[in-house]
Amino acid sequence: MTTKDRNALTLPHSYDRAALARFELFLFAGIATVLITRAYLAATGYPQIGGGALHIAHVLWGGLLMAVAIVATAITEGSRTRDLATLVGGIGFGLFIDEVGKFVTSDVDYFYQPAIAIMYVVFVLFYLAAREVVIRRGMNDRHRLAIGARALSDLALGQLDEIQYNHALRVLDGVEDRSLTDLVDSIKAGLHSQTPPTGGIESKITRGRNAFFHRAEELLRHRVVRRLVLTLFVLQALLAIVQVIYALVSENVVEADDVSDLVVQISTVATGVLVVLGVWFLFRGPYLRALRLLRASLIVSLLVTQVYLFTQDQFGALFGFAVSLFMLATLRIAIRSEEAAAALPQRDRRPTR
């Protein structure tokens, strides 16, 4: 592998991180809106907005906000509008999807129990699909030029801050097509023509977000946290083994009443097998394989088992969901550290357990 190939593999801006950040803002706004809306309605006794036979469902407000977001991006320029439209659109989507129970039941039941599970599936699939598209699409030279030109447009509108400015220059540095050199130089010259503000609200938000994620990653990277998570997996593996032994001794085989129960039983067994195998390799090695198996068990749980839990316990399943996300984040950081260590020469490697 040449030096150029290695650099391409390790390039920190090989996909549009700003696009992914905007989508994550949209998704976060949607999820937060669902949680806040349901909490507010429960606390106020589910009031009716309107009078008499009139009922203004909040799905209508959601549609209005999504329309506002679409129109805003259609008639105005600048990344600031895109970011604001992303937030407004996410809130609108949250209000829209919150009433899904009314549209999948014949009696228009807002309290339809599987509604939370439906929302969960929509958000998870939405995230996986969008993330896959953004990462797999990557950034070719034309895409890099478009990002630079957009930064130049923001600079003209007075909406470009220092962080976005530096990001655009780094992205432009990655253009390799010699035929585009003149265009790249022109965009860079335009960016260098003015000094972007350093104290803008976008810069403060970005710095705050980066500081938060940096500290969160430091916490998750800590050896004590990693050992705590791995201990939880060991306990889960022991529990899975005990459950299997108990089922065999007592001949207490649980029968599935419907397809959903069968799917949940299969996913639970798959999760248990992956956890047991992961713990086995945790003690016998290789360590990286153990981490990957444990990560796979969490993904199966989040994508399948967790859906069933939400149908049974509505928001009561949020605690288990949060714990699973915490464990998954810790594993992802541990796997990244192990993969980085594996790429180093043998003499430079350090134990990370």
Per-residue pLDDT reduced to its tens digit, 286-329? 888 899 999 888 888 887 777 777 767 666 677 888 888 888 88
pLDDT higher for 170 or 111?
A: 170
pLDDT of residue 68: 95
Residues in CB range of 279: below 8 A, 6 or more apart = 233, 234, 237, 290, 294
Cβ count near 308 (within 10 Å)? 19
pLDDT at 352 over 60: no
Q: Are 300 and 274 in contact (CB under 8 A)?
A: yes
Q: What does pTM read for this prediction?
A: 0.69
- Comparison of pLDDT for 246 and 259, the residue scoring more: 246
Q: How far apart are CA 199 and CA 207, in angstroms?
A: 11
Residue 16 vs residues 10, 23, 28, 281: alpha-carbon distances, Å: 15, 11, 19, 36
Whether the predicted pLDDT of 122 surpasses 80: yes
Least confident of 231-240, 241-250, 330-339: 241-250
19-42 burial string, b = 16+ CB within 10 Å, else e? beebbeebbebbbebbeebbeeee
Q: With contact defined as beta carbons under 8 Å apart, do 306 and 267 qualify?
A: no
Count other Cβ atoms within 10 Å, centred on residue 118: 17
Q: In this model, does residue 63 exceed pLDDT 90?
A: yes
